[in-house]
Structure 1
Amino acid sequence: MAKRPNEFTEGDLDNLKNGERAGSTAKLGEATTPVKDGIGEFEDPYEDEMESDEDVVEAETASEMDEEEDEDEAMDVDTEAYRISRPQEPLAEGEVLEADPSAFHMLHNMGTKWPCLSFDILPDHLGDNRQTYPATIYLVTGTQASKPKDNEITVMKLSGLSRMKQDPDDSEDEESDSDDDENSDAILESRHIPVSTTTNRIRTSPYSLQNNEYLTATMLETGNVNIYNVTTHFTSLESPGNPVPQSANAPLASLNMHRGVEGYAIDWSPLIPQGRLLTGDNAGKIYHTTRSDNGKFVPDSSPFTGHTSSIEELQWSPAERTVFASASADGTVKIWDVRQKNKKFVLSVDVSSSDVNVASWNPTTQHLLATGADDGVWGVWDLRTFSNAATGGNVSPVASFTWHQQPITSVEWNANDDTVVAVGSADGTVTLWNLAVEEDSEETAASGGGKSGGVGDAPDQLMFEHYCEGVREVHWVKQMPGVVVATGEKGFSVFKTISV
């Protein structure tokens, strides 16, 4: 079976921007056996005469040069990067995509029984800023099973995540090539909570580790909001041998304020340790739920209204305890304050002519909000300019990218680097972007003042492109800088690139 490398890295970008292809002129999937041009094959018309040493040396040199050229061509073919978001040509029958190992520090792909529309990273006790291998990551997710009764909430432990095997010729310390961090087998362990419907979106409280209470909220296909305490499930994975009692599978709360209207938007406050929740539905209603002193979750009796279509994303401000942003299929982003008694938005900005599917509030540069839309465009907005819209002024993004050709399904700032963004798209790719990279003005002028979107016109800020079929959601692992987890139609992909 023929294979196409599919990872597109900064080195490939450099080649493309210099007018070179990231590969050879031969088509992958075709025979690439070197074809000799006759040099090195000799027919001596004077069989009784011996060739001179000089002739032999010249012939051998020519043959060696020819073989080196053929080897270079073969190597070029092997390293051609196939662009998922910009396919040069469809995959031929019998061709599959293969990741380029030299582009990764770590790469693991994990199949699941059912696809998962959403997941979240569970903070653990293993420490921050982890750089060593083998690595361990905890996740919580909800399934989209073919039958409602087969669905579940799953708490997972991924351990034995080893780094990519390095080429000894490229390693300064060859002894490290046999270390356990390269040879360990990845292990998946899980604990399950049965549910009777698909989980559209799932989020865990950012205070779970601090409070030793892993509060996990789910937006269900039925319109209900269920809140679970998965601490027992997490502990059972952290310390094997501890069983999970049946009673631990019951939700702490099952809220029906959305009255059967399906929804996808949900977010925990990053500033309220006891737990404060926002949920939004397809009718354009947003509910604010607080936790009382006795531990009960109490939603407001009336919703926030103002959107004319479904709420696709909700994001609490990382700096203001009462402020949040919403993104909607009506193409707008709105800013709200829960103290507003009339439950109306404070500011509203048109950010897209299509559905705004996702948004991410920068956790450290708190005036920046990233959004992604159905038309494949994702951008970054300076919230300090949103007040211009209230007086009839124009509001423009500080950055906007049209690289993806299909809907943006996920966007998230890197918690360890406030200039780096991960983007997922329905085109089957996860892209990593560095907004600290400035656009090459000479290059832009040479291309007529803008990017055409072709393979040779990749934006300067695009660092990496990774294949994940049917990617739904992408998250950075905060405790492991540079590590990304994505969920798609086939399961999960966990990776760390050499670019981040």
Structure 2
Amino acid sequence: MSKRTADDHGDLRLKGGERPEQMDVDMDKDMGEFEDEFEDEFESEDEIIEAGVDGRPDAEREAEEKEHAMEVDQGTFIVGRSKLEPGQTLAPDLTTYEMLHGLNTPWPCLSFDIVKDSLGDNRKAYPHTMYTVTGTQAESSKAHENELLVVKFSGLSKMDRGGDDSDSEDDDDEDADPILESKSIPLNSCTNRIRTHQIPNQDPSKPPTTLTATMTESAHVFIHDVTPHLTSFDVPGTVITAQQNKPISTIRAHKSEGYAVDWSPLVPGGKLLTGDNDGLIYMTTRTDGGGWVTDNRPFQGHTSSVEEIQWSPSEQSVFASASSDGTIRIWDVRSKSRKPAITVQVSDYDVNVMSWSRHQTNLLASGADDGTWAVWDLRQWKGNANKPQPLASFNYHKEQVCSIEWHPTDDSIVALASADNTVTLWDLAVELDDEESKDTAGVKDVPPQLLFVHYLRDVREVHWHPQIPGSLIATGEEFSVFRTISV
């Protein structure tokens, strides 16, 4: 069992600890509505701080801009770093968002994945529609209530600017009511991590087969075919049978629970890696007959739990793994020894997460338990003896990094989530293209590469939507769907 426990902000666990209390939410399993933060009227007498990119109150920021553009008052409130005083709450600076929606679920969903759809790439017209899969984490005494949820978000509207720059063709749709539709599959165990994979259909007129791999607290990994559940959202009269709710395969190789799972992006038929708290990694492959076979010879090398696995986006036989032993290891599945080809000690703390750039495939980003995240050039990783330096390293966050992901089309943009209750967006090109920005940064101890700070209590995972530029989904105390005006 990994050592992490619930933090002081609540009982939503990341790797271990007590189960969260059930949220006081009345939501129909098959239909719900988003809570639009920008439509809320704050009636509390508590002081509300408007939290923008740097988290400062608007009045303070305006005064400083008039007096001295480059100097910052020592009282500046920085989201994720500063502490709220009694009676203070945070509210988003709505002028910094193009889209912002929130929703609650009966139990926390601390891992999710976005399903690629047939609605087209590079979508910009509002309102948006998104499809996701997620798994719940009910408290231990109610484990039987856990579910795999297949979800459709629709009616995701643009922020109402009151007529400002409202000359787009979709103005009439901006006030559409966001809708949540969901189909549930019983799991009876908490979801630690969930990832999707799509198998192309030989008939181009039919949708691809969408699979999910769900790593659970039971140590079992369940593979489900959720294609009929996705179809049911858009094809009236579709009936989901009890058989379709059952897993098409169950991986029982692991003796302990795990949090690392990834599908190969280069094997259309389906090849899955899963890692556990014993430091073992197993590979499961889809056979020509449509069945599933797990190789009982694990990949061994880590001395502690495997926290993250990422297949190479360019080499079919290569993958990387990150561990609480502080290392990242590079493997070749063709190796008969099942030992890593390269081992690099990247941190003195647990390495919780990593992301392999899809465009600059020599770049790998990692996030650790001490809040530090770094970018590595894999071309410098020549063997186990060398100790390469990161291309960039940031210690802005003071709590563990629990999710990190490269932008799907911009190789300089990175999103990450931290246990300090923030999602931060970073632009590495600022350092590469504007060295002088280091001397002109407006806020002390805030790197110029930091683009945006989004506050989300107990945030645990964040993903870019691959078909809607600049749009993100994050999960924590609630789901947050947003797009900033800065990306």
**TM bucket, shorter chain:** 0.7 to 0.9
- 8 A Cα contact 1:8 1:81, kept in partner: no
Match of 2:223 among 220, 224, 227: 227
Residue 287 of structure 2 corresponds to 292
Matches within 5 A, 1:198-347: 198-207=190-199, 212-259=208-255, 261-347=256-342
Matched position secondary structure for 1:219? strand
1:444–1:483 CA distance, 2 compared to 1 (3 A): closer
- 8 A Cα contact 2:437 2:448, kept in partner: no
The residue type paired with residue 373 of structure 2 is W
After superposition, the C-alpha distances for 1:306-326 in whole angstroms (9 at most, x for unaligned) are: 000000000000000000000
Residue 19 of structure 2 corresponds to none
Cα distance between partner residues in 2 of 1:459 and 1:204: 34
Shift of 1:101: 1.5
Asked if 1:462 is matched to 2:450, the reply is yes
Shift of 1:364: 1.1
Matched position secondary structure for 2:209? coil
Matched position secondary structure for 1:418? coil
Residue 402 of structure 2 corresponds to 409
1:367–1:251 CA distance, 2 compared to 1 (3 A): same
- 8 A Cα contact 1:166 1:177, kept in partner: no
Percent identity over the alignment is 50
- 8 A Cα contact 1:7 1:81, kept in partner: no
Cα distance between partner residues in 2 of 1:108 and 1:240: 27
Residue 107 of structure 1 corresponds to 100
Residue 360 of structure 1 corresponds to 355
The residue type paired with residue 447 of structure 2 is P
Matches within 5 A, 1:7-46: 7-8=52-53, 22=61
The residue type paired with residue 130 of structure 2 is I
Matched position secondary structure for 2:259? strand
Cα RMSD for the two superposed structures: 2.5
1:306–1:282 CA distance, 2 compared to 1 (3 A): same
- 8 A Cα contact 1:134 1:180, kept in partner: no
Shift of 1:417: 1.1
Residue 56 of structure 1 corresponds to none
Match of 2:122 among 123, 129, 137: 129
Asked if 1:92 is matched to 2:79, the reply is no
Match of 2:475 among 464, 479, 487: 487
Cα distance between partner residues in 2 of 1:208 and 1:160: 28
- 8 A Cα contact 2:264 2:271, kept in partner: yes
Residue 179 of structure 1 corresponds to 171
- 8 A Cα contact 2:353 2:404, kept in partner: yes
Cα distance between partner residues in 2 of 1:101 and 1:458: 22
- 8 A Cα contact 1:123 1:208, kept in partner: no
Larger radius of gyration: 1
Cα distance between partner residues in 1 of 2:386 and 2:241: 58
The residue type paired with residue 469 of structure 2 is P
After superposition, the C-alpha distances for 1:27-47 in whole angstroms (9 at most, x for unaligned) are: xxxxxxxxxxxxxxxxxxxxx
1:172–1:468 CA distance, 2 compared to 1 (3 A): closer
Matched position secondary structure for 1:180? helix
Shift of 1:245: 1.3
The residue type paired with residue 278 of structure 1 is L
Q: TM-score, normalised by structure 1?
A: 0.81
- 8 A Cα contact 1:216 1:227, kept in partner: yes
1:248–1:91 CA distance, 2 compared to 1 (3 A): farther
Shift of 1:130: 0.3
Shift of 1:456: 2.6
Residue 59 of structure 1 corresponds to none
Matched position secondary structure for 1:4? strand
User: Please, which runs of 5 or more residues in structure 2 have no aligned partner?
Assistant: 1-43, 68-74
- 8 A Cα contact 2:438 2:448, kept in partner: no
Matches within 5 A, 1:126-205: 126-146=119-139, 147-168=142-163, 170-171=164-165, 173=167, 179-205=171-197
Cα distance between partner residues in 2 of 1:208 and 1:309: 37
Shift of 1:288: 1.0
Cα distance between partner residues in 2 of 1:427 and 1:243: 43
Shift of 1:291: 1.0
After superposition, the C-alpha distances for 1:92-134 in whole angstroms (9 at most, x for unaligned) are: 32x3221111101100011111101200001111111000101
Residue 47 of structure 1 corresponds to none
1:444–1:99 CA distance, 2 compared to 1 (3 A): closer
Match of 1:119 among 112, 116, 123: 112
After superposition, the C-alpha distances for 1:276-331 in whole angstroms (9 at most, x for unaligned) are: 00000000000011111111111112100000000000000000000000000000
- 8 A Cα contact 2:430 2:437, kept in partner: no
Matches within 5 A, 1:379-398: 379-387=374-382, 389-390=383-384, 392-398=385-391
Cα distance between partner residues in 1 of 2:298 and 2:464: 31
Shift of 1:455: 4.3
Cα distance between partner residues in 2 of 1:401 and 1:482: 22
Matched position secondary structure for 2:328? strand
- 8 A Cα contact 2:198 2:208, kept in partner: no
Q: What is the aligned length?
A: 427
Shift of 1:413: 0.5
Shift of 1:247: 1.1
The residue type paired with residue 232 of structure 1 is P
